[in-house]
Structure 1
Amino acid sequence: MTTAKARAVDGPDKPFRVAEIKRRDLDLHDILIEIKYAGICHSDIHTAHGEWGAVNYPLVPGHEIAGVVTDVGAEVTKYKVGDRVGVGCMVDSCGKCDNCIKGEEQYCLKGNVPTYAGVDKYGEPTQGGYSTHIVVTEDFVVRIPDNIELDVAAPLLCAGITTYSPLNHWGAGPGKKVAVVGLGGLGHMAVKIAHAMGAEVTVLSQTLNKKEDGLQFGADNYYATSDSETFNKLAGTFDLIINTVSAKIDISAYLSLLTLDGTLVNVGAPAEPLAVNVFSLIGHRRSFAGSMIGGIRETQEMLEFCAKHNIAPNIEIISADQIDEAYERVLASDVKYRFVIDISTM
């Protein structure tokens, strides 16, 4: 087994501490990855704080992982030592159900195996990317294109695919009006990707504080939702709305901004339930949908798309000792726009 240095948390109100974890010996199709960078996702915070349900502590979060292959199992065919690779929000699935066969492993009917806070096929708890090494079966690893640096590649493995997948599925492109709710870690990626797809992009944010950034990322318009007139002005405007906010908002108000047959897709995952007035849906045959990351094939497609269009997240590199501070800053919306841990500081 490989011993990995890590940062772990022992409870919802506990700080991160230095830890050592064991990574399993390589099975026939496993690869060992030396992690170089790991992004901090709001999901990490929800999970570490126990907001999405019971957690088996100690917990090592992290599902935005970029690194280099250092060893491979005897029957691995997809990767070799030295390859630049990434791991996202899941590390396995049943591989046999209809959804897995379609390449939608994130929706595995038996449940995918999350990168952390899950249980793998060996019955062991999964631990994530706030660590120096990880072992993953080759089918759940993606190749990072040469023109994407590893530090900016890390957030693409969650923030990138979480926004790319619904934009791709609901056909964002020329002639489509897309609104992005929130300009945070997810939102700024949604703006960049939707713009590259050719859509007309509007940011809906609480204030105009980040307007300059939003326009620089590719937004055509930027409105403050704290101004009630915004909802009157934009009523019936958008074909697609991507809600990236991980907090409770007035979904019915945002549904009113959709055109006929428009869709609002939730990718943010607040701990509290969201109420919906059904009349906001039936009046214009609108849809309220959800989307969760993407399959491995689509994640690789997303990376190639970002490489082609020179899309990268805006990041702030931190050391492993700064994780607690980074969590506080994310909760205070004090990050532009994704924290990435330099694992060499682990």
Structure 2
Amino acid sequence: MLLLLLGYDAINWFDGRFSLPTPGMLAAPCEFIDVVVTERAAVTGDQSAVAITFAAPDGSPLPAWSAGAHIDVTLPSGTVRQYSLCGDPTDQSSYRIAVRLIQDGRGGSAEVHSALTVGTEFQVARPRNAFPLAVGGYNQTTSAVRLIAGGIGVTPILPMLDMLDRTATPWSMIYCGRTRDSLAFLSELARFGDRVTIHEDATYGPASAEELLGDLTVSSAVYTCGPPPMIDALRAALVDRPDVEFHYERFSLAPVVDGREFDLRFASSGEVVRVAADQTALSAILGARPDATYSCQQGFCRSCAVRVLDGAPEHRSTALSPGELDAGYFLPCVSRSEGCLTIDM
């Protein structure tokens, strides 16, 4: 799954350890790991999604991860994309991702499908988790978990199932897609029996929020990953349920909320560009500097980070470290300002 915007009504924190970028340089993860593709397999009946399994070339253990985590993948072309891990978190001998081919996308999924063949070497960053499954801890009060997956959004959900079983947490799941042939990992889900409900939109129409949520008891938790309309419908349905935790991960950009116009000034040239109220600062930057670096566009990967030389940014992401914030770094894909920002470009 290509990972884009993440959000939580029950706040989730992650530990992102990154090197502080030098002035004028973009923020980047502190360590990438060499890996090699060991297995490749179609995981949908229509062949639209492929699972890629990879390991360290020398067979050494890969860094540990937990259900809900994702990795930054540097493809052979140098393109960086974010994908959820969907293998077994207890097995450090390999990682697995699954990617659906998006015909009119930005090219990342097409490169995965064409270039990541068995034997191909590439690099990934250490796993990060901003969609953790918060169950099984001390004084845990969650009575049951409802899992809701839309299409390839099943990828971060899949590793959660065994974890829920290991912690003896009651759970149920609904998995929605256009057709059965478009749904991934059905053979792996079959072992969970009637705890997993398959919903085909082509046969039954899109599932309502009520169908998606099922019967939620007090202290239930909902974990969902899918397209924005599904996420928005669930949020609306749960607005009057403060007794239910709501954790979500979406794979499409969310609209700008409560945006106001502001200006960006490029320090190198003095050029000023206007950021519209419903536009991201990154979009405005790309209009003037189309070669600017970016990837996820959701305030997580940090590849678009720029340094603010003057002005007060309104940070709308927790991905930057305190040191990076003190150094003036800013993520234009999500963050904004109420006044002009002079940036180091």
> Quick check: TM above 0.5?
no
TM-score, normalisation: structure 1: 0.34
